[in-house]
Amino acid sequence: MDRSRRSDLETVSQVTAVEDKTYYAIPPDSVERPAPGVRLGGRSLSPVSPDIVGLHDSEARRVATDPATGLTVYTTDDPKVLSGKERANTYLLKVETGKYVKVRPLDEANGK
């Protein structure tokens, strides 16, 4: 009976960055303030630096998606990417397959 409604009843949810093709474009260097990248929970997130970190997409865990930009915010348990200290306030934005940039809330990205 339910086989005819299978597509209505079943959903697939991807919790990793695998198959995510929405990439963040790193803005040109700004001496004054880093440009906000996305919003998370009402806070603007900005790049910590223009440095890119490598991470297999299956290791990036989805935190939220910014409805204004369509960009997904990620985190990871990989200590080579985010130290234990960073995990509390640092997130990742995907810039291409297997490559990410670290972002923090705007006040913390500026060292305030």
Tell me the domain boundaries of the chain: 16-109
Task: Calculate what percentage of the chain has a pLDDT beyond 70.
Answer: 84
Most confident segment among 6-15, 43-52, 64-73, 100-109: 64-73
Look-up: residue for tokens 């935190």?
63
pLDDT band at 109 (very low <50, low <70, confident <90, very high): low
Q: Could you report the per-residue pLDDT of 19-47, keeping only the tens digit for each?
A: 899 999 887 665 555 667 799 988 999 88
Q: What is the mean pLDDT of residues 85-98?
A: 94
Structure tokens at 53: 């970190």
* Dihedral class, residue 30 (left if φ above 0, else alpha if ψ from -120 to 50, else beta): beta
Is-contact 70 22, C-beta < 8 A? yes
Inter-CA distances, 82 with 11, 28, 54, 108, Å: 31, 23, 11, 16
| pLDDT score for 112 | 47
pLDDT band at 92 (very low <50, low <70, confident <90, very high): very high
Task: Calculate what percentage of the chain has a pLDDT beyond 90.
Answer: 56
